Amino acid sequence: MKPGNGNGTPKNFDELIERATPWLSGEGPQAGMVLSTRMRLARNLQSVPFTHRARDEQLQGVLMSVVAAAERAPGFQNGLLLKMNDIGTLERQILVERHLVSHELGDGTRPRGLLAGADERLSLMINEEDHLRLQAMAPGFQLAESWAVADAADDELDEALDFAFSDETGYLTSCPTNAGTGLRASVLVHLPALVLMDEIPKVLKGISQVGLNVRGLYGEHSEVMGNLFQISNQTTLGVSERDSIESLERVVRQILEHEERARERMMRDARVQIEDKVWRAYGTLRYCRSIQAREVINLCSAVRLGVALGMSGLCPLPVMSGLLVLTQPAHLQRYAGRELTPAERNVYRAQRVREQLAAAGRDADS
Amino acid sequence: MLCQICGKNAASVHFTEINDNKMSELHLCERCAEEKGMQGPSKKQKFDIADLLAGMVDGMTSTEEERVGHVQCPRCGMAYSAFKETGRLGCAECYQAFQFQLRPLLRRIHGDTHHKGKVPTRDGEGATRSRQIQRLHDELQRAVEREDFERAAGIRDEVKRLEHEAQEARQTPSPRKTQE
């Protein structure tokens, strides 16, 4: 039995989620410290009230005109449209877990949609807080490249759509915190050494002083887990896209240097303790029989550190990255093919983690 | 210990910074720390625009607040008071309708009120001009960085000319290009 879905397009949905999530491919520049880079552009249509004030018919119109515009845009060729009220709660949750849609878009009660480009690197949330939320994701640290992708796709959509814009305030968004460029550029970084060496408060303070923002893995208001931090620009008005991205790039580079040095110091002063911590984490993941998502994320952090430090015999980074998403509740229930209670999920999660690590071990042996 | 910024509330957030081997300490109350954006994410950070707005009207008398709250967007009918509650504007026109209230808010959020950056390609002459100004600004910055002041001066004059043109164009507004 397929997990609860509506009358939608499960075949297409299946195809979408069968693919590896590129942002968690474990590859890309600086993969040892940077999981992914993301650009988000907020846009609205001039002629329609913002999503929360628009009637369903109007939102339906937005959905149609955006899809028509995207059809002509090369960046969305062979893309897939998923209408949120056509798919089930579990499917929507899966998309949230893969960072393809936000919690707001995931509610499924209004005419909202996700248009995913052919390789999931480019996606478009339609009728979220803003009519369009264009998103470009890339593995590793690739700010300039991701911006180029988002910028080009935005130009393509702009050819056919009349975006709400004023010379004074720039792109007009539902929430004034996004007005101007509508850009949120963010980098998901793994900073275990700075956390272990107790240097992270200083770093976080520095980040907020230069006008950047830090969040957890699952965006706004989410808690920091597994030493994963999402660093992004805060302001969108009075600063150009290029300047926003360059200053983010500079700051992230500095943080990565700090992390690198902290890792070196840690290995110099406490090699045995670090190796012990990494291997115990690996052992727990490899042999656990019931485990919570949060614990997986935290243990993966230790193993990821070990891999980045060059300890051999652990599991490759792509597997560790994949576990972050595969062990989330909706993904688990989909693999299980039925709804699971939290206790059942812990048991099933442990099984999935063991299987993944065992398979990675077999690949390494062969 | 009292907060080092406001000097009124008890300091409950403490920072230690080590810079060039010199240690400096900062003791702030929660409110000032939050205003300075110095609360770490370990403490659930919630940027609540409604709170920000509430804080901004604190200084107003109740009649002033009432007057401001009743301003309505002529296009979507949203009242400013509704925006204050939700933190979401109703439509693109609201930016114009609430411009006097929004300007200080935008300044507080972004530190600026004027857009620098991309403009839609379909926005006609004005947009092309804005885009050109933006490009020149970037170029100016690069010229200053490499200390090519002669070039920088030339660019500055060009920017001035375009900005003057833009200002004149704004005073004689033309209807916005609509979708074909």
Q: How many CB atoms lie within 10 A of CB A302?
A: 23
Are A205 and B179 a contacting pair at CB < 8 A?
Answer: no
Give the minimum alpha-carbon distance from B87 to chain A in angstroms, rounded to a whole number: 6
pLDDT at B166: 72
DSSP 3-state of A141: coil
Of A91 and B6, the structure prediction assigns the larger pLDDT to A91
Of B69 and B107, the structure prediction assigns the larger pLDDT to B107
Choose the weakest-confidence range: A64-78, A252-266, A295-309, B157-171: B157-171
pLDDT at B125: 58
Q: Which residue has the tokens 């595969």?
A: A326
Non-local CB neighbours of A288 within 8 Å, separated by 6+ positions: A350, A353, A354
* A77 and B CB contact within 8 Å: no
∠ Cα A273 A278 A279 (to 5°): 100
pTM over 0.90: no
Confidence of residue A191 (pLDDT cuts 50, 70, 90): very high
pLDDT at B172: 54
Q: How many CB atoms lie within 10 A of CB B25?
A: 9
* Nearest chain B alpha carbon to A180: B115
The residue-averaged pLDDT of B140-167 equals: 84
Condensed to tens digits (0 to 9), the pLDDT of residues A109-124 reads 789 999 988 777 899 9
Non-local CB neighbours of B115 within 8 Å, separated by 6+ positions: A166, A167, A168, A169, A170, A171, A179, A180, A181, A237, A238, B130
Condensed to tens digits (0 to 9), the pLDDT of residues A215-260 reads 876 655 556 789 999 999 999 999 999 999 999 999 999 999 999 9
* Nearest chain A alpha carbon to B112: A238
Mean pLDDT of chain A: 88
Q: Is the pLDDT of residue A5 over 60?
A: no
pLDDT at A131: 96
CA B28, CA B34: separation in Å to the nearest integer? 9
pLDDT at A106: 65
Indicate the residue of B39, B113, B130 with minimum beta-carbon distance to A237. Answer: B113
CA B85, CA B75: separation in Å to the nearest integer? 19
CA dihedral (A223, A224, A228, A231) in degrees, to 10, reads 80
The residue-averaged pLDDT of A282-295 equals: 95
A239 contact residues in B (CB cutoff 8 A): 110, 112, 116-117
Interface of B with A in 130-159 (CB under 8 A): 130, 134, 137-138
Non-local CB neighbours of A191 within 8 Å, separated by 6+ positions: A33, A200, A203, A227, A229, A255, A259
